[in-house]
Amino acid sequence: MRAIFLDRDGTINEEVGFVDSLDKFRLIPKAARAIRMINESGFKAIVVTNQSGVGRGLFDEKMVAAVHRKLQDMLEREGAAIDAFFYCPHHPTEGKGAYLKDCFCRKPAPGMLLRAKDELMITLEDSYIVGDTLKDIEAGARVGVSGILVRTGYGKEEAARLLGGGSEAGNPMLYRPIHIADDLEEAIGWIILNDKKQEAL
Ligand SMILES: [Mg+2]
Ligand SMILES: [Zn+2]
């Protein structure tokens, strides 16, 4: 099974800082259409999102679940659906209690992708990740998942950092996207058009 992993904030919905209430969750234009294209392509659509606001005590896991239900409702109206959600509630320095953890699921670590591989039988090297930050691209690259950077959310700055040859700590140059797209819809269209990883008939 192949997947297109999707970052959430800044990729599917507008980047607004922490989504700690339902009314802060607004879809980026044509995101629902893009997810329907994934559904029709035979890829699984899997959300992988860092939600350190939980660990920081800004909102709880029930809010994350409610936001994801709202997303599914919005998508359903346009004939689209997310197949699975994975989120990381931890933070290595700001987490409270059990959420204070230098975990392997917080992107740029690839733990959520590895969980999807195990739980949903995803073939990572035949899969893609779309996100608005180089952390998303790195999480994919570390386990053989090709990355596409979108210019929504933090993507404009991230693309400039990448194309400007940034040399800051974290070494973004090691992990390059295979494509930079204006938004999720363009990214999915590009993947479907340029997919060289077709499964044999
Ligand atoms: Mg993002
Ligand atoms: Zn985590």
Q: 201 in a domain, yes or no?
A: no
Closest Cα to residue 175, out of 110, 104, 121?
110
Task: Give 51: exposed, middle or buried? Use CB within 10 Å, 0-12, 13-18, 19+.
Answer: buried
Q: What is the pTM of this model?
A: 0.94
What's residue 149's pLDDT? 97
Annotated active-site positions, please?
Answer: 7, 9
* Structural domain for 52, as ranges: 3-194
C-alpha distance from residue 60 to each of 4, 21, 26, 57 (Å):
27, 11, 19, 7
Tokens found for residue 88: 């990381």
Q: What is the CATH number of the domain that holds 93?
A: 3.40.50.1000
Q: How far is the CA of 116 from the centre of ligand 2 (A)?
A: 14
Strand order in the sheet with 128-131: 84-88, 44-50, 3-6, 128-131, 146-150, 179-181
Q: How far is the CA of 104 from the centre of ligand 2 (A)?
A: 6
Number of domains in the chain: 1
Please identify every residue whose CB atom is under 5 Å from ligand 1, which is an ion: 7, 9-10, 132, 153
pLDDT single digits (tens) 138-155: 999 999 999 999 999 999
